[in-house]
Amino acid sequence: MRDPYTVLGVDPSASDDEVKKAYRELARKYHPDNYQNNPLADLAEEKMKEINEAYDAVTKQRGGGAASSGPQASGAYYQQQQQYGGGNPTYARVRSCINAGDIDTAERLLGEVPNRTGEWYFLAGSIAYRRGWLDEAAQNYSIACQMEPGNLEYRQALSLMRQGGQAYRSANFSGGMDTLDCCTTMMCLNCLCGGGRC
């Protein structure tokens, strides 16, 4: 395992607060929300695991006092696996192929499904998204939403497309550059502190 302080990017002489701050910033950077259905999601997950372990190790070294009051070190930001239940068994297989990154198989399986439901279009959108075909992904998500307007998963996917995705943005770059900033809370904080150019 790499030196936990190197992983967190702080000096071993840093105060507990500085360590916590560095950890939070990194957790924000590799947050699963920034890597939804992203072909690199597994790499982000590894990074997240690494910083969680590093933070655990540092808090333990320092007497463990901060661990309980800290940002619930392991898995605080980490677990976001969704459960998909019921429905067409082919769809479940398509989903697992997409998650495993086997996009061609997913597409072939989906092509064999005779009638196209809202979920069919949602999965077609997810496949397009993994290829980087963002416009076709948006079109498919939008059909899925029209067919099943009540489905939260589809609506979330579509709204991510409408806002143009999201990525981590450090404080240096958060000042009013994009109208659709990834992190509304950061903007609000900026306004409150009078920083940035909101």
Residues in contact with another protein by the rule CB under 8 A: 29-30, 34-35, 38-40, 43-44, 47, 128, 131-136, 138, 161-170, 172-173, 177-178, 180, 182
3-state DSSP call for residue 23? helix
Q: Helices 134-147 and 152-162, interaxial angle, to 10°?
A: 140
41 or 57, CB closer to another protein?
Answer: 41
132 or 194, CB closer to another protein?
Answer: 132
Closest approach of another protein to the CB of residue 164, in Å: 3
167 or 188, CB closer to another protein?
Answer: 167
Query: Any alpha helices (H) in 102-169, and if so which ranges?
Result: 103-111, 118-131, 134-147, 152-162
**Which of 152, 160, 197 is CA-nearest to residue 182?**
160
Residue type, 38: N
Closest approach of another protein to the CB of residue 27, in Å: 12
90 or 175, CB closer to another protein?
Answer: 175
Q: How far apart are CA 26 and CA 103, in angstroms?
A: 30
39 or 87, CB closer to another protein?
Answer: 39
Q: How far apart are CA 157 and CA 149, in angstroms?
A: 12
Closest approach of another protein to the CB of residue 135, in Å: 4
Closest approach of another protein to the CB of residue 170, in Å: 8
Quote the tokens at residue 73. 């070190």
146 or 170, CB closer to another protein?
Answer: 170
Q: Print burial letters for 34-50: b (CB count within 10 Å at least 16), e (below 16).
A: bbbeeeebeebeebbeb
Closest approach of another protein to the CB of residue 148, in Å: 22
Closest approach of another protein to the CB of residue 149, in Å: 21
Q: How far apart are CA 186 and CA 46, in angstroms?
A: 25
